[in-house]
Amino acid sequence: MTDPVDFYISHKQNPRVYKFEVEFTSMLNGVHVANSPILYEEGDNFSVNWYMQKIGKVEFNDYMKFLHEAYKCGSLNIES
């Protein structure tokens, strides 16, 4: 199998998948920081606020499209 989608189709699997929306906000001394890298000095206050919301169940074709796109990427984009 060359694509992860092939596994689900050949084994007639229908996974139960839920979509979540996650948002992270970096704060430096109480001010929102949107750029990277974050430069801070001793005594600075760095925090990360996060918000997560359950969107709902994902349809089979949408999940297969997500898997196909996810496995195309050769390396992770950790910086984002």
pTM for the full model?
0.59
pLDDT of residue 74: 59
| Of 14, 24, 13, 11, nearest in space to 52 by CA | 24
Question: Closest Cα partner for 25 from 54, 47, 52, 58?
Answer: 47
Instruction: Work out the number of other CB atoms within 10 angstroms of the CB of residue 58.
Output: 16
Q: Which pLDDT value is given to residue 27?
A: 92
Residue 76: predicted pLDDT: 58
| 27 DSSP β-pair partners | 32, 47
The 3-state DSSP class for residue 70 equals: helix
Percent of the chain with pLDDT over 70: 88
Distances (CA, A) of 67 to 16, 22, 52, 53, 74: 14, 19, 21, 21, 13
